[in-house]
Amino acid sequence: MKKYDVAIVGAGPGGIYAAYELMKKNSKLSVVVLEAGHSLEKRHCPIDGKKIKSCISCKSCSIMSGFGGAGAFSDGKYNITNDFGGTLYEYIGKEEALSLMRYVDEINMENGGEGTRLFSTAGTKFKKLCMQNRLKLLDASVRHLGTDINYVVLENLYAKLKDQVEFILIVRWKRWKSWRMMASISIPRKKISMRINALSP
Ligand SMILES: Cc1cc2nc3c(=O)[nH]c(=O)nc-3n(C[C@H](O)[C@H](O)[C@H](O)COP(=O)(O)OP(=O)(O)OC[C@H]3O[C@@H](n4cnc5c(N)ncnc54)[C@H](O)[C@@H]3O)c2cc1C
């Protein structure tokens, strides 16, 4: 049985940046990412408006699943704020949370996002206008990559990761023998078994 030091479930942003960080911190670690969806280039929704007009419930939804996760084809807006969009700061504090968001932004800039605009509400005329009218404008910076650059960043991250991190795609979890955790997963043309010591459920 092949052994890995770390198994990451899901190749959304959470899984991708976790793998990226592990690769950077310790190049000797063997890391596997198990993803239920397709690779980025194979992610296609079959709805074409002619033959297929609405969702046919594919086994793996290419809009929500696959390398890049749920927002792979989104507008690529990365919010740098504690004011909305998550509660990470409750665990690690606001400063640390912001610094991690900026760190992810740096990674994106190094991987194809350079030249894109970082917008901010701080010190804007609009903020002043809101204050004058007793409205609270939430504080945020937002990196707007846009759909095309977001895709390029994901492609570049995959290119960097693929030699060091193993990606197993179209994972189907078949059977759980116990809570922590023996799982048999099948991927096209192969069937492999895995024992995973889970860090969290
Ligand atoms: C249309 C759309 C547009 C969006 N636009 C933005 C935006 O502009 N800005 C923004 O900040 N956020 C946006 N979001 C939200 C953002 O995409 C999510 O917050 C982000 O993707 C969450 O990352 P994640 O890694 O936690 O989870 P996900 O991106 O959901 O990734 C989880 C991955 O795990 C896989 N998976 C799940 N269960 C299993 C399993 N049992 N075995 C194997 N694999 C599994 C899934 O297939 C998926 O690929 C958007 C979301 C959508 C749907």
Helix extents (H) in 6-135? 13-25, 89-92, 94-108, 125-132
Please tell me the distance between residue 12's alpha carbon and the centre of ligand 1 in angstroms: 5
What share of the chain has pLDDT > 90, as a percent? 75
Ligand 1 atom closest to 14 (CA): 25
Instruction: Please state the domain extents for the chain.
Output: 1-44+58-74+149-201, 77-144
pLDDT average, residue stretch 54-78: 95
Q: How far is it, in rounded angstroms, from Cα 88 to Cα 82?
A: 8
pLDDT band at 56 (very low <50, low <70, confident <90, very high): very high
C-alpha torsion 46→49→52→53, nearest 10 = 120
74 ligand 1 Cβ < 6 A = yes
Contacts 24+ apart (CB under 8 A), 188-193: 192/2, 192/168, 193/1
Average pLDDT, the chain: 89
Asked if pLDDT for residue 79 goes beyond 70, the answer is: yes
pLDDT average, residue stretch 81-106: 96
Nearest CA to ligand 1 atom 52: 71
If one looks up domain 1-44+58-74+149-201 in CATH, what number appears?
Answer: 3.50.50.60
Q: Is 137 exposed, middle or buried (0-12, 13-18, 19+ CB in 10 A)?
A: middle
Residues 6+ apart with CB under 8 A from 64: 37, 70
The pairing of strands 6-9 and 31-34 is: parallel
Number of H helices, E strands in the chain: 5, 9
Q: What is the ipTM of this complex?
A: 0.96
65 ligand 1 Cβ < 6 A = yes
Of 16-20, 52-56, 183-187, where does mean pLDDT reach its minimum? Answer: 183-187
185 ligand 1 Cβ < 6 A = no
Please tell me the distance between residue 198's alpha carbon and the centre of ligand 1 in angstroms: 21
Best probe residue, ligand 1, of 17, 33, 34, 35 (max atoms within 8 Å of C-beta): 35
- The alpha carbons of the chain give a radius of gyration, in whole angstroms, of 20
